[in-house]
Amino acid sequence: MGNGISKGTLASYEISVKTGDQIGDGTDANVYIILHGNGTKTNEQSLDKCFKNDFKRGNIDRYFVNSEVNILEVQRIELWRDNCGLLTNCNEMDKKENHRYFFNNIDTYLPQNDPFKEMRISDLQTIQKEYQLQVKIPGLPAQVRKLPEDEKFSINENFRLHYEVVLNRVKRDCVEMLEGNEWEEFDDIKKGYTAFGHPRGSQYFNDDASFGRQRLNGLNPSLLTLCTRIPENFGVTEDMIILFLEGKTMKQAMDSKRLFIIDLAILEDCPTQSKDLVMACPFALFYFNDGNCLMPIAIQLFQQNGPSNPVFLPSDPEYTWMLAKMWYSLADSTYHQAITHLNFTHLIMEGISVAVKRQLAHSHPILKLLNPHFMYLMAINSLALGTLINSGGIIDKTSNAGIIGHFHLMKKSTEWWRLDLHGTLPEDLKSRGVLDPSILTGVYHMRDDALLLYDAIKTYVEKYVLFYYSTESSLTADYELQNWGAELVKSREEGGVGILGVPNNGKFVTTDQLTLTLTAIIYTCSVGHASVNFQQYDEYGSPFNYPYALSGDPPKDKASTRSC
């Protein structure tokens, strides 16, 4: 009967079944199981406990079944249900009554080595019908056409999200009802801190050192660039900033790698939510001083220098300089939310995740490596399309740029984002001249800490890839992997994801190419997203510290501005 199989005595098997916790999960139908060993199998067994409601949503049920066949190592499970019972709506098994589902022990195979190729191909074809790519907003990344059942929030996660939203709305409404919703003084905003306490940013308003820290370790840490020359349309001169260079000339500051620049030209001509709102597209110059602080030393709020667009300096009147920093931060926060956060770590990654699910079978080791990093990604993006980045939604109500402006920036950045540059941390740092640890030593924590995490991810991925692809011929023979690479680089107009910078244009022939790709994806979905997401309350929670909306006009001269 096969290796390790005996008959004549009853063998007992303990079987645990966990039912999903999404709405619609669970069944009252009769569920049956067959255990397969090496060349043998048990008889059909019913999974049922008398006087018990089996397979309820979110439950774990345990069963003991006896068989004359003693299988020392169960290699495969066969599972199905009939159409009996009052409630037979189970998300996975109940799609087809009496359809046999097979689950293999240690079910991880490259497609060319899978002993059940036909079933694998059939399952993948079914998944491809459910996971389809679509560009929902012209010019933006490809997303999933319709949210699959398996990607939806669990019932517990759904409840938690809705509870937090309702709780915060109630608290906000109470504050507005009791205190009014217009702020007359700086301390008025603190009355709204009812849910999470005072954000850290509220402690540092109008502090130049904290303004520099935001560029290094805040929500948008990937803009700061080593300054080797001053752009022609940036009107700053050495005479203007010599006071802030600790006795150095501008050239000496550049040569010692202490001068840094941010150019937000991408915001030029960015639409705003209404005609009376303004969006800056600034330059900012920073100096790393002897006290190990990155200090702002010059800000020009628009790209073209001129009499009504001066270079603002720390020596200007206090509130004039303060307003220059606030209008710069408005541009920075708009870039952060539209590009760094929403586009790079959400929408672009969603397209990649859909291609993974479409082209790699459940048994594929690369799908199993990537899948945990995509948890709820499609669901949160689907939710955002209905509440956050929709017309009249949260962004429209809370930002100068509004949805039109955000989509404008997202479209622009989608055209140049590259996986091998912007998605690969060391290359991104190198392109900005800040990879060298002797630059900004001891203060660029985002770089120093993120590189450690990037290297840890890369080391793990390298070992994982080499374990499954011991020879490079196994890479080229893996037709699922090659199909995935092809779909990643295929243009969005042709139904692909349209990712630039995938090594060898998606034709993986070396393990290094695959490792770079996987590391970039995992890093972006984990460390990359965490760095631009989890500080949001501390930064945005104090609007003066990191404004997302400003009314009125930016300063057009250096005249003294009155305190409100």
**pLDDT the model gives residue 217:** 96
* DSSP single-letter state for residue 106: T
**pLDDT the model gives residue 103:** 81
The DSSP secondary structure of 505-550, one letter per residue, reads GG---SHHHHHHHHHHHHHIIIIIHHHHHTTHHHHHTSTTTS-S--
Yes or no: say if 518 and 369 are a contact pair by the CB < 8 Å rule: yes
Determine phi and psi for 406, rounding to 5 degrees.
-65, -45
**pLDDT the model gives residue 527:** 97
Domain boundaries, the chain: 5-107, 335-540
Q: What number does CATH give the domain 335-540?
A: 1.20.245.10
pLDDT, mean of each 10-residue run, the chain (564 residues): 48 87 78 88 86 83 88 86 62 56 84 90 95 96 95 68 54 46 67 73 86 96 97 97 97 98 98 95 98 98 94 96 97 98 98 98 97 95 88 90 97 98 98 98 97 98 97 94 98 97 97 98 98 92 90 90 58
Helices (H), 313-401: 318-335, 348-359, 365-370, 377-387, 394-398
**pLDDT the model gives residue 164:** 57
How far is Cα 32 from Cα 81, in angstroms, rounded to an integer?
6
**pLDDT the model gives residue 175:** 44
Q: Which CATH superfamily, name and number, covers 5-107?
A: PLAT/LH2 domain (2.60.60.20)
Find the angle CA(5)-CA(8)-CA(9) to the nearest 5 degrees: 90
* DSSP single-letter state for residue 244: G
Give the tokens for residue 92. Answer: 């996975």
**pLDDT the model gives residue 132:** 97
3-state secondary structure of 125: helix
3-state secondary structure of 75: coil
* DSSP single-letter state for residue 266: G
**pLDDT the model gives residue 157:** 57
Helix H, strand E, coil C: the string for 152-216 is CCCHHHHHHHHHHHHHHHHHHHHHHHHHCCCCCCHHHHHHHCCCCCCCHHHHCCCCHHHHHHHHH
